[in-house]
Amino acid sequence: MSFQGQVVIVTGGGRGIGRAIARAFAQEGAKVVICSRTRTELDSAAEELDELGAEVLSCETDVSEPDDVAELVDKTIERFGGVDILVNNAGVWIPGSAENYPLSDLQTTMDINVHGVFLCSQAVFDSMADDGGVIVNVSSVRGLEGYPRMAAYSASKFAVNGLTEALAREWQSHDIRVNAVCPGPVDTGFADGEERDASRILPEDVADATLFLASEDAEHVTAETLVVSKQDFEYEQYD
């Protein structure tokens, strides 16, 4: 598949899954915009994408802040003229027992994982409304079943899946497709030189699924959640 000349925004694009997604789009000829709250990660990712020959824009952005999101989209349009694809990947995971889970951690989880997806999707609507576009939300299998010690995270990803379906049906008349990828456990440590956990998928596996949903091969696919996992939805204990 080719994304030659298409403009892609990847939130949380400085590391892990987001960086793998940005790299995959760059390798297929896309103009890539990455954002993150951490400048050092952005600089490292942007350098890698530049070495691949991609046109790259990096923006220090907190997706839970409306002004930051508006600035991200404005800079993208100013640089590249519009937005063809948005990948809502930025997210946080703060595990803990529900009986004493801090309200501040719940608020942070919802602000980034849910409000960020909504704000970014809303911000690109005008750019996509006339000619169509694609939104892919990176959710989780934890948004398909609730898990112990992950009440806030599971709730946020359930919300992302519901938001995906609602936006897909509301914006279908504008030729905007909205889908979600639901990864199982991802071995992000392997990229940092650690021994690979063969029971987990790699960030590149999530990237492959994301590119498929963004491609013409999936032109009739919308309001769907695509599970990418090597494991059944078994319960795991997290400290």
Indicate the length of the chain as a whole number. Answer: 239
Question: 84-110 as b/e, with b when 16 or more CB fall inside 10 Å?
Answer: bbbbbbbbbeebbeeeebeeeebebbb
Clarify whether 238 is annotated catalytic: no
The alpha-carbon radius of gyration of the chain (Å, integer) is 17
Report how far residue 147's alpha carbon sits from residue 233's, in angstroms, rounded to the nearest whole number.
9
**Which residues are paired to 35 by β-bridges?**
11, 59
H-type alpha helices, the chain: 16-27, 39-51, 66-80, 103-110, 116-129, 151-171, 203-214
Give helix then strand counts, H and E, for the chain: 7, 7
Secondary structure letter of residue 194 according to DSSP: P
| Active-site residue, from 147, 153, 235, 238 | 153
Which sequence positions are flagged as catalytic?
153
